[in-house]
Amino acid sequence: MLKPASKTPISAILMGEIIAETQWPGGGFSILPCSRDGADLFTTDERFKLLSFTGSPEVGWGLKAKAGKKRVVLELGGNAGCIVDQDADIDYAVTRLSVGAFYQSGQSCISVQRIMVHRDLYGPLKDRLVAAALSLKMGDPMSEDTFLGPIISEEEARRIESWVNDAVARGAKVLCGGNRRGVLFEATLLEDVPDDCAVICREVFGPVAVIESFTDFSAACRRINAGSYGLQAGVFTKNMDHAFAAWNDLEVGGVVINDVPSFRVDNMPYGGVKDSGLGREGVRFAIEEMTELRLLVLAKVGQIK
């Protein structure tokens, strides 16, 4: 039983139409567009043995508390961090960061939100990233050359605007963007943002990224860990010691070396720790989450027939 997000049901309905044309057993898959309140029975009805939810931490952990004896898989988003080490290829990093931070107008659970750049590269990388962000066309998503389409609703666009304005009021500097036009929001890059601003410590879910410099790689990893989320992180480096240090030290479900944390393919185990959720998606790993492991022991006593 699939309940799509209330504001985006069409893709789920199209998937249902495709499945209906296959040999899938009748009644084996159902799609029920409804409000969040209308889906409460999914959480409490004992006929459903597993609850898988993608959404906000507030809703996800609340559903888990109501789920009783069910298995629960939660993907609750994040504020993905990305480290650009001293020896990284600046041009490649900028190309990938501009995509990771602004594709889908930042409306991705693994959109790049926090960018940490070694001090030796900070100036040139910042300038190139600003130039890349300014080159992205914003407008009609049906136009092939549009990169930044609309935010899901004007309410959400206003929220993003208010978070950016709050950071600026508290001393942050807007390097580019920061403006809203209805449901459209510009590709925005901020620096000097206080740690407790929402654009750092919460999930923006919009085309907004924060950039800062570091001198010590271990300290950069600690900065990534300081947040309450832990979905995925990216590290651009040619230093294998740093690559494995990131793997060992970063408190996230996945570490992506020499690419953005926005990288994902369906056959990888995808999921997070801390407020980002529990359990893993990805074909094999989703099947494992939905499988009850059972054991049969046969003790040999005489002749078994």
Strand-strand pairing, 180-181 and 184-185: antiparallel
Residue 258 in contact with residue 85, Cβ under 8 Å? Answer: no
C-alpha 200, offset from chain centre: 14
Query: What is the rounded CA–CA span in Å between residue 154 and residue 16?
Result: 29
Length of the chain (residues): 305
Catalytic residues: 75, 109
Half-sphere exposure of 246 (CA within 13 A, CB side): 28
Query: Which among 21, 251, 227, 204 is positioned nearest to 102, based on CA atoms?
Result: 204
Paired tokens of 158? 């206003």
The greatest distance separating any two alpha carbons of the chain, rounded to the nearest whole angstrom, comes to 82
Query: What is the rounded CA–CA span in Å between residue 232 and residue 272?
Result: 7
Q: What is the dihedral of CA 102, 103, 107, 111, to 10 degrees?
A: -70
Strand-strand pairing, 173-176 and 254-257: unpaired
Residue 56 in contact with residue 77, Cβ under 8 Å? Answer: yes
